[in-house]
Amino acid sequence: ETGVTQTPRHLVMGMTNKKSLKCEQHLGHNAMYWYKQSAKKPLELMFVYNFKEQTENNSVPSRFSPECPNSSHLFLHLHTLQPEDSALYLCASSQETGKGSSPLHFGNGTRLTVT
Amino acid sequence: GQNIDQPTEMTATEGAIVQINCTYQTSGFNGLFWYQQHAGEAPTFLSYNVLDGLEEKGRFSSFLSRSKGYSYLLLKELQMKDSASYLCAVRDSDYKLSFGAGTTVTVRA
């Protein structure tokens, strides 16, 4: 089993749909993250969880709703999205936040297309 | 906000050396990371610098100058498989990691 697994790999949804992205990490880490990656733009941090507690919400619209039931699982619930939300959504984990040398380990991402 | 700049694209020949520069302006500093991302895949961790100087890992080396807000990633003996996007990321005083837009390196035969 690879370190960080994301499902689905691809998702096409209409603006009125509700869907969820799932992330699971098998590294024993305590921090998990959602990033948005759009073409030619820097990765944008969306949410951070440390020991299951949300520590960062980077001014993300409420149509994105994260959930972290335990340190190994992270979800991103989507509803009434806009076409500009189409992007690659990357999940990552690290030992914990507040540890400078701890790198992020990323999943392969979910390619989201909003029609 | 944080500002991290790196070139958009670079092209080099197989067997050659390429240097990818990264300059940053952040609120505090707790380390700089380089990641490699192949198309359609996850970014993977390459290197970490927190002190000034050069860190060498096989064909890849990373350099940091904190006083200049500058880093570079050096790729030696380029191989076709090194064609990828290279991301520079800086951890600030709040331990948040901010990324540059990435440098796409194309290796030609």
Mean pLDDT calculated for residue range A18-30: 96
Q: Is the pLDDT of residue B92 over 80?
A: yes
Q: Using DSSP, state whether B72 is helix, strand or coil.
A: strand
Q: Exposed, middle or buried: residue A68 (CB in 10 Å: 0-12, 13-18, 19+)? A: buried
For residues A36 and A63, give the distance between their C-alpha atoms in angstroms, rounded to a whole number.
14
Mutation site, A104, A108, A111, interface B, largest B CB count within 10 A = A104
**Closest chain B residue to A96, measured at CA:** B95
What does the pLDDT read at residue A60?
94
- Lowest mean pLDDT, pick from A50-54, B19-23, B103-107: A50-54
Residue B85 CA, distance from chain mean position: 9
Q: Is the pLDDT of residue A2 over 70?
A: no
pLDDT-based confidence at B2, cuts 50/70/90?
Answer: confident
What is the end-to-end Cα distance of chain A in Å, rounded? Answer: 33
Instruction: Flag if B42 and A45 touch (Cβ within 8 Å).
Output: no
For residues B84 and B72, give the distance between their C-alpha atoms in angstroms, rounded to a whole number.
16
Mean pLDDT calculated for residue range A9-23: 94
- How many interface pairs between A and B have CB atoms less than 8 angstroms apart? 49
**Contact (CB, 8 A) for A83 and B28:** no
What does the pLDDT read at residue B6?
97
Instruction: Flag if B48 and A107 touch (Cβ within 8 Å).
Output: no
Own/partner contacts of B77-81, CB < 8 Å, gap of 24 or more, are B77/B15, B77/B17, B78/B12, B78/B13, B78/B14, B78/B15, B78/B16, B78/B17, B78/B18, B78/B107, B79/B14, B79/B107, B80/B14, B80/B107, B80/B109
Neighbouring residues of B81: CB distance < 8 A, sequence distance ≥ 6: none
Task: Express each pLDDT in B21-37 by its tens digit.
Answer: 999 999 999 999 999 99
User: What burial letters (b/e) apply to B84-98, b meaning 16+ CB within 10 Å?
Assistant: bbbbbbbbbeebbbb
Minimum-distance CB partner of A104 among B41, B97, B100:
B97
B25 has which bridge partners? B3
Mutation site, A4, A27, A106, interface B, largest B CB count within 10 A = A106
Identify the residue with better confidence: B11 or A101: B11
For residues B100 and B109, give the distance between their C-alpha atoms in angstroms, rounded to a whole number.
28
Instruction: Flag if A108 and B42 touch (Cβ within 8 Å).
Output: yes
Sequence letter at residue B70: Y
**Contact (CB, 8 A) for A58 and A47:** yes
Task: Report how far apart, in Å, the C-alpha atoms of B43 and of each of A91, B61, B107 are.
Answer: 11, 18, 19
For chain A, what is the largest distance between any 2 Cα atoms, rounded to a whole number of angstroms?
42
Neighbouring residues of A52: CB distance < 8 A, sequence distance ≥ 6: A68, A69, A70, A71
Minimum-distance CB partner of A100 among B89, B91, B101:
B91
What residues in A contact B100, CB-CB < 8 Å?
42
